[in-house]
Structure 1
Amino acid sequence: MSSGASPPEAPPSGGARPARRRLSVDRRREELVAAALELFGGRDAEDVSIDDVASVAGTSRALVYHYFGGKQELYVAALRSAADQLEARLRPSEAGGLVERPVERLGVGLGRYFDFVEERAAGFAALVRGGPANRSGEVGEIVDGVRHRLLGLVMRLLRVEEAGPVLRVTLRSWIASVETAALDWLERRDVDRRVVERMLVDQMVATLGVAARHDPRVVPLLENLVSEHAP
């Protein structure tokens, strides 16, 4: 007997529900790493929980554990992702190879570095600031590896084949200054980015001047830079 009401709409064939959006394994890992970087970039790793990452990623803590096993594994994966992104950004390009003057090459390299800082702020902050004070194990290897490759990049930009102890200390100290300046700019942004980049180039010239007083082998490099680095 009909009641006059319309019958309920029939479910899809086989009673199946509409399919949820499914992500590939790689894509899901990328989303979790991105969520982790957002958190690790703003807080110490000790203050970030798996639940925090799951909440930002819009998933369950069980899924985070499924993909990474624990917070340390996720932290390492997040830092490694940021390190790979930075190194890819700094990889020499054909355009960069057309720049002949060392100071100009250094300026181009700094520009690419700050591009990464600006566009991947959370990843940069997590890489150079986040984590435990005593960076050991895989975390230390990742961070130190990035700095070691940055040293090699700076040497190539300046066309230095081998750095003696004085020059090595000078260049590593300058790299630390670049990291500090980039973090300060990222947090405050009260100085034009290009001004910061020019200041760092000037700082390189100044620190090489100090190094040259302690090692005569630095003098030719300094003279080459000073001759083309008119104010």
Structure 2
Amino acid sequence: MSVDTDPRRRRLEPDARRGQILACAVRLFGARPYADVSTTDVAREAGVARGLINHYFGTKKQLYLEVVRVMVTVPGVAVERLPDGDLRTRVDASVTWFLDVVSRHRDSWLAAVTAGDMGHDADVARVLTEAEEVAADSVLVAVGLADATTCRAELRGMIRAYGGLAISTAREWLQRGALDRDQVHLLLTATLLTIVEQVYPAIVGSARAAQAGGTGSGRRTAIGTVSSRAQS
């Protein structure tokens, strides 16, 4: 007896069916522009009635937003599975994970981060911004700075900037062929290590020095004022 392993022709649980529809949408939106993909196309690819697309995702745009979200958002499991070890080990593993994911889903990932003809849509921009913050949280956990409070805004700004660098560098590899994977890995690893080991500590040191100097200056001013009044 043959076993039908095609999920499009088997009865699936709701979560599995939703995931299967989403996987088909990821492939289609990765291969064609937003305007060239219809919910009918997705339903045909998934082997389901078009009504199921609306049931699980709503409109075509809502489905597309979910595709972008799943392509650009770092899942919690990625951080949970990082190996124990020193900073360099965890940074190396984090960069390796990122490059594995973007290369495995090359077309869909590139379509998501560039957003194609939906690049100026406010909802797409919101999804990309939310993903940027999730990615920053994940990197901070990976490098052991999730609970850092000193110069927190500056730290998050640097990590978000690093996320932009990671995307641009991956595009230089996958889209333009200007860099190979080893070069991208080296660039991203060295940059993140430099931020954590040199740049952030320098910013913290400068902030503390400025604070100490300001406090001292304030104290001296106050003492001078008191002394002046006493003399008068």
Partner of residue 15, structure 2: 26
Deviation sequence 1:25-61 (CA, Å, 0-9, x none) = 3333222211111122244434422233234334454
Q: 2:115 aligns with which of 122, 130, 151?
A: 130
Q: Could you say if the C-alpha distance between residues 77 and 92 of structure 1 is closer, same or farther in structure 2, counting changes exceeding 3 Å?
A: same
Question: What is the correspondence of 1:12-51 to structure 2 with a 5 Å cutoff?
Answer: 21-51=10-40
2:158 is aligned with what amino acid? T
Q: Aligned residue pairs: how many?
A: 195
Q: How does 1:1-231 map to 2 (within 5 A)?
A: 21-82=10-71, 86-93=74-81, 96=83, 98-100=84-86, 102-130=87-115, 132-137=118-123, 139-160=124-145, 161-162=148-149, 163-188=151-176, 191-204=179-192, 211=199, 215=203, 217=205
Tell me the residue number matched to 2:222: none
Structure 1 unmatched ranges of 5 or more: 1-19, 220-231
| TM-score for the superposition, normalised by structure 1 | 0.66
Query: Which one-letter code corresponds to 1:26 in the other structure?
Result: D
Structure 1 range deviating more: 30-39 or 62-71: 62-71
In structure 1, C-alpha distance between the alignment counterparts of 2:186 and 2:92, rounded to whole Å: 7
Q: Determine the C-alpha separation between the residues in 2 that align with 1:29 and 1:198.
A: 38
| C-alpha distance in structure 1 between counterparts of 2:206 and 2:127, whole Å | 30
**Could you say if the C-alpha distance between residues 175 and 81 of structure 1 is closer, same or farther in structure 2, counting changes exceeding 3 Å?**
closer
Structure 2, unpaired ranges of 5+? 1-8, 208-232
How far apart in 2 are the matches of 1:205 and 1:21? 48
**CA RMSD, Structure 1 to Structure 2 (Å):** 3.4
Residues 61-88 of structure 1: CA deviation (Å, up to 9, x unaligned): 444334433201211332344356x314
Give identity over the alignment, percent: 26
| Higher helix proportion (structure 1 or 2) | 2
SS of residue in 1 equivalent to 2:175: helix
Secondary structure of 2:16 counterpart: helix
